[in-house]
Amino acid sequence: MNEHDQSQWFDRFFAATCILFLSPLLLVRAIIGLVKCGSVFEKTEVSSPDGEFNLLRFSGFIRGRKLAFLFNIVANDIVLVGQGTLVSEVVARNRYADGANAEPVHAKPCLVNLNKVQDKSGTCYEEHNVAVLTNRNKISIMARYALISLMVPNKRFSRPDKFQMLGTSVDNLTLDGAIELVVNSATSKSKTRLAFVNADCLNIAVKNDEYRDALNNMSRIFADGIGMQIGAQMLGVDLKENVNGTDMLPKICKASIENNLSLYLLGGKPGVADEAVANLSSEFPGLNVVGTRHGYFSQDEEVDVVDAINESEADILLVAFGAPLQELWIDRLSSNLNPSIQVGVGGLFDFYTDRISRSPKWVQDIGLEWIWRLKQEPLRLWKRYLVGNPLFLYRMHKQSKNDQHCANFRRFSNPHKAMSSPNKRYRRKQNRWLFKIYLQRVGKRLTDITASAIALLCLSPVLIIVAVLIKLESKGDILFRQKRVGRYGKEFSMLKFRSMRSDAESIKSELAADNEVDGGVTFKMKADPRVTRVGRFIRRYSIDELPQLINVLKGEMSLVGPRPPVPKEVDLYGSLDRRRLEVIPGITGLWQVSGRSDTTFEEQVALDIDYLESNGLMQDFLILIKTVPAVLSGKGAY
């Protein structure tokens, strides 16, 4: 049996095993489809290089439809991993096409597309033979894709050249792009300082201002590891590739030989750098390493170390002190160092000796190399990985939320400073401000829920009496439901006691000429002929508004806020008027206690914007207090 047949049989065996273990779930899903839709499967005709087949999905638009793809894998219609079209895309293309018009696919459809995994995870699979992937390759590729998909929500990602992570500016480059940068800078004698950062480095930088400043002074910072990949995607950023020193060093060696560049290795325990050079020279004949030095030297010896590096006339200096020492050292002495490329490489030299082994490729592919490192040095690394990794993800979650807050409240803050300032005092001030906004919202919502629930309970006799009077006076519904526009333009049904004839809306256009509100946006008449006798009384004392306590309880309105407009009024709004829609509308507000319907539309907008820019729980309380005499006086109510 050749490799291609082995790969096919692995896919079929894997799918059959999944069907066996998931058989109870598959049976339930089949019964649901049969009961709801009259058939177990929904079939899509697909034309592939191996002939036509029916792509199966369980019937019914509920979860679990795609589990039926397992049967297609057993039938050898589709494969687990490949470079063909994703089965979900095949379904989308051919959903409404019959067999004759179905769009053909030029390669066997796959559940997981290799190129999409590479784009999503930042891992390069160029060494794999795509035509025949080994079973271990398939498992590692699917595992890495599942890991990223589970930890990062589905959303569109951007690929900026530079972005901020926890106050540190990170460059978004491919490995080849990084090598090109090194070669160009070295050959042109342009001094360039480089650093690699992973989750642990950024955790240190959050607490160590000096280290964070040193990182931000670097020419380029490369993202290293699965943690950086997940953290970037939390921010909506897609890393082009995982750029780490271990993968980069062989490429630097090749580029150095091709471009006649020299290296100097500084760091590690005594003898480590020399052993690494011996191994690299045997792997890359012609490699020009002009000097080495261990990293255990005193402050007094530092001048001699710098002189030795400069006398070697090296083009590339690799510093392996570990973070944050190496970046701090480069930042402090860069102006005294002659090499064009100065880069901190952490424990890189140990990987090119027999001291530390690197994880197998399949472990690297699924992004779990850190587990391999933890297994090798558990006592030294347990805190970095078991505590540091969750802490990093928590901090990235906070940054993503803060970035959203900065976008939502950009009128009140400087978003550039919020996104990029390394100043710890400013970040604390920003976090306190955001927390204050959050507490105000929570407090306002709790007040609304408590007050509206108590008010509905206490006023229930009044509500029942008014409902009976409305029903006795005129035909029609007791409650009047009207579409109103709430926060950010979201429409909802606002409740009021019906105070007009049942045909009030149909004759409103006939009375438009008698509108007594300036501007023509809102409609009010003192002697509106549509208002009933009961309606005139409940309007005068705002009793008709009491059912809106139900809207408050549901979260559609608040006790205090701008009054919600009808959609036709919003269509006439200018840009300034639309600012009223930036807060939850209320039963009462500033203009209700400042003249009610006697105020002009422009005055209403001005008062609402004043409330929006200075709202707080104390102001809401004062408005509620002022509402009582305003309602009892009946002034401006009609």
Q: Could you report the per-residue pLDDT of 516-535, keeping only the tens digit for each?
A: 555 555 556 666 778 888 98
| pLDDT of the residue at 414 | 47
| pLDDT of the residue at 411 | 41
Better-scored residue on pLDDT, 281 or 429: 281
What is the percent of the chain with per-residue pLDDT over 90, rounded to a whole number? 29
Q: What are phi and psi of 412, to 5 degrees?
A: -105, 0
| pLDDT of the residue at 309 | 95
From the list 35, 38, 45, 41, the residue with the least C-alpha distance to 59 is: 41
| pLDDT of the residue at 31 | 83
Neighbours of 214 (CB within 10 A): 24
Q: Could you report the per-residue pLDDT of 93-126, keeping only the tens digit for each?
A: 554 444 444 455 556 787 777 666 665 555 554 4
Q: 461: part of which helix (H) or strand (E)? A: helix 460-473
Contact 202, 170 (CB under 8 A): no
| pLDDT of the residue at 253 | 94
Indicate the SS3 state at residue 103. coil
| pLDDT of the residue at 179 | 94
Return the exposure string of 508-529: e unless at least 16 CB atoms fall within 10 Å of the residue's CB, then b.
eeeeeeeeebeeebbbeeeebe
Contact 264, 246 (CB under 8 A): no
| pLDDT of the residue at 29 | 84
From the list 574, 638, 637, the residue with the least C-alpha distance to 602 is: 574
| pLDDT of the residue at 570 | 87
Return the exposure string of 248-271: e unless at least 16 CB atoms fall within 10 Å of the residue's CB, then b.
bbeebbebbeeeebbbbbbbbeee
Q: How confident is the model at residue 187 (pLDDT cuts 50, 70, 90)?
A: very high
Q: Could you report the per-residue pLDDT of 374-386, keeping only the tens digit for each?
A: 888 888 888 998 9
pLDDT value at 481 more than 70: yes
CA distances to 3, 17, 79, 630 from 10, rounded to whole Å, are 10, 10, 10, 78
Q: 202: part of which helix (H) or strand (E)? A: helix 199-207
Q: Residue 4: which residues within 8 A CB-CB, separation 6 or more?
A: 131, 132
| pLDDT of the residue at 395 | 92
Return the exposure string of 318-353: e unless at least 16 CB atoms fall within 10 Å of the residue's CB, then b.
bbbbebbebbbbbbebbeebbbbbbbbbbbbbbbbb
- Mean pLDDT over the full length of the chain: 81
